[in-house]
Amino acid sequence: MLDHFSAGSGNTAWIGSITWFLLQVLAPLANFLSRRYSFRTVSFTGGLMVGCGYFLSGFVTRIELMYLTFMMIGIGYCLSTTCSAIIISLYFKKRRTLANGVMYSSGGIAVLSFPSLYRFLIDKYGLSQALWVIGAFLSNICVASFVFRQPNNVLNYQNKPLQSNDAQVEIEESIFLNLSDETNDQQRKLIERCCNALNLNFCLFKNRRFSLLVLAFTICSFGQTNNYILIPAHIKTLGYSNTYITIGVSIIGGAELIGRIAVGWFADLNFIQKKYIFVVCMFIGGVFALISPLFDSFMFMAVYAGVTAAFPSSFLALTSVLAIERVGMKNFEAAYSIMFVCMSIPSLICQPIAGWMADYYGSWYPAFILTGIILIFAGAILLIEPFVNRYDMGKTYSFKNVDKEMASPVKRIHLKAHKQNKEDSAIELS
């Protein structure tokens, strides 16, 4: 697209950033819709939007219009990806981290195989026709969505009121409801209703351990997302052909596939705390980014692509389990929504910033250095957690009993429904 539109590195990078931003910031909406209509319906709708977005992109002749079509793609990815991420953690208990690693490794499969496919399609048909073929292929998300089953521990919003008394109290305490006395009562009720519907319980930030986790993930997202533009762009700057760029991107995909599964498997062994796995991954990625200006060969960039995909990129396999350890299963979906909303902000601006730095300095090395500093800082944040614990009233959850939090209320609901059916039957017999 950089060659096709000739709009500069920074402006072209907005295409990927818009997609990542919408994929994350709309997670609360996707969470709400999946409860309102079912995971299957929402994921199917997401697949349709992805396919239509790529199809319409084939007709675009200006990069400004490409922003709009990729907004549709980003929304579609959000609907399907959020459903997949949440349903995995609701179904799996013992091997939850490994299950998340396998799920997120699918992105590695795409990155591994798609660059060669894109290169072939663009060389044979041109960019427009290639986008049509890609859209048709990704529409298979709709087919995959039919295997989703709504978990028993998910309460459908159609079958319960939007707001309970307990939720009302929590929401009124949240930071978004610290409104002045002059605020209209109707506006206050609307905000309360929206926050509860989207499962945005900002009271979770009272748990300092959770707040540190959100901050670490947000900063990590800024650094890690940069690599998806830094690696192919820098390989091109070094004077290598598109074939080498394709190889570099494919290495990212292969390393993500292996790394996310390996991190998930290792984390479930419980040899060390999962937060330290995150810290080590961030430090390794940060060190390699900082030393990258010392090398100017494709061989180092190939090694860097593998390292950054196998370690920093694998943090996605840890997002759900680290959140559950801090807030419990009962608040997991609310925590998931908040985390990805916060992570969406750096995802929107990081790639354009890297592109503008390259345009200004005439080199990608400053962006590599910035990425390294950010990744190390993200890991260091969780290292200060022991100093925060002494002042924090938040509860630490064990995976042996965490799922009981969701099972208990659902069991009570089922027993109540069974009792009501027996009473109705008795009335009919009499």
**3-class secondary structure per residue, the chain:** CHHHHCCCHHHHHHHHHHHHHHHHHCHHHHHHHHHHHCHHHHHHHHHHHHHHHHHHHCCCCCHHHHHHHHHHHHHHHHHHHHHHHHHHHHHCCCCHHHHHHHHHHHHHHHHHHHHHHHHHHHHHHCHHHHHHHHHHHHCCHHHHHHHCCCCCCCCCHHHCCCCCHHHHHHHHHCHHHCCCCCCCHHHHHHHHHHHHHCCCCHHHHHCHHHHHHHHHHHHHHHHHHHHHHHHHHHHHHCCCCHHHHHHHHHHHHHHHHHHHHHHHHHHHCCCCCHHHHHHHHHHHHHHHHHHHHHCCCHHHHHHHHHHHHHCHHHHHHHHHHHHHHHHCCCCHHHHHHHHHHHHHHHHHHHHHHHHHHHHHHCCCHHHHHHHHHHHHHHHHHHHCHHHHHCCCCCCCCCCCCCCHHHHHHHHHHHHHHHHHHHHHHHHHHC
Q: What is the pTM of this model?
A: 0.70
The predicted structure's pLDDT at residue 48: 93
Domain definitions of the chain by residue range:
2-160+199-399, 402-430
CA dist 286 → 57, 106, 260 (Å): 35, 24, 18
User: Which CA distances in Å does 351 have to 68, 172, 346?
Assistant: 18, 37, 9
Task: Report the CATH number of the 2-160+199-399 domain.
Answer: 1.20.1250.20
Q: Which of 67-81, 94-108, 133-147, 239-253 shows the lowest per-residue confidence on average (mean pLDDT)?
A: 94-108
Q: Ranked by mean pLDDT, which of 13-27, 274-288, 400-414 comes out on top?
A: 274-288
Count of other CB atoms within 10 angstroms of residue 165? 7
pLDDT-derived band of residue 302, with 50, 70 and 90 as boundaries? very high
Query: What is the predicted pLDDT for the residue at 193?
Result: 64
User: Residue with structure tokens 């300092």?
Assistant: 208
Residue 377 is predicted with a pLDDT of: 94
pLDDT mean over 276-290: 93
Checking if the pLDDT of 159 tops 70, the result is no
For the segment 164-169, the average pLDDT, to the nearest whole number, is 41
pLDDT above 70 for 181:
no
For residue 145, which of 43, 74, 52 has the smallest C-alpha distance? 43
Instruction: Give per-residue pLDDT as tens, 87-114.
Output: 887 787 778 878 888 877 777 777 777 7
At 284 the pLDDT is: 94
Burial of 331 (0-12, 13-18, 19+ CB in 10 A): buried
Tokens read off for 380: 């260091």
Across the chain, what does the average pLDDT equal?
78
148: how many CB neighbours lie within 10 A of its CB?
19
User: Is pLDDT of 393 > 70?
Assistant: no
Mean pLDDT for 16-39 is: 83
pLDDT for 173: 43
pLDDT recorded at residue 288: 94
134 vs 131: CA distance, rounded Å: 5
Structure tokens at 360: 């200004």
Where does the pLDDT of residue 403 fall: very low under 50, low under 70, confident under 90, or very high at 90 and above? very low
pLDDT (0 to 100) of residue 55: 92
| Distance linking the first and last C-alpha atoms of the chain | 74
What local confidence, expressed as pLDDT, does residue 109 receive? Answer: 75
Residue 374 pLDDT > 90, yes or no? yes
Question: What percent of the chain stands above pLDDT 70?
Answer: 76
Choice between 252 and 195, residue whose per-residue pLDDT is larger: 252
Asked whether the beta carbons of 132 and 54 are under 8 A apart, the reply is yes
CA distance linking residue 192 with residue 12, whole number of Å: 38
pLDDT average, residue stretch 117-122? 82
Count of all residues that appear for the chain in the document: 430
Residue 307 — pLDDT band, cuts 50, 70, 90? very high
Confidence of residue 17 (pLDDT cuts 50, 70, 90): confident
- pLDDT band at residue 27 under the 50/70/90 scheme: confident
pLDDT confidence tier of residue 343, bands split at 50, 70 and 90: confident
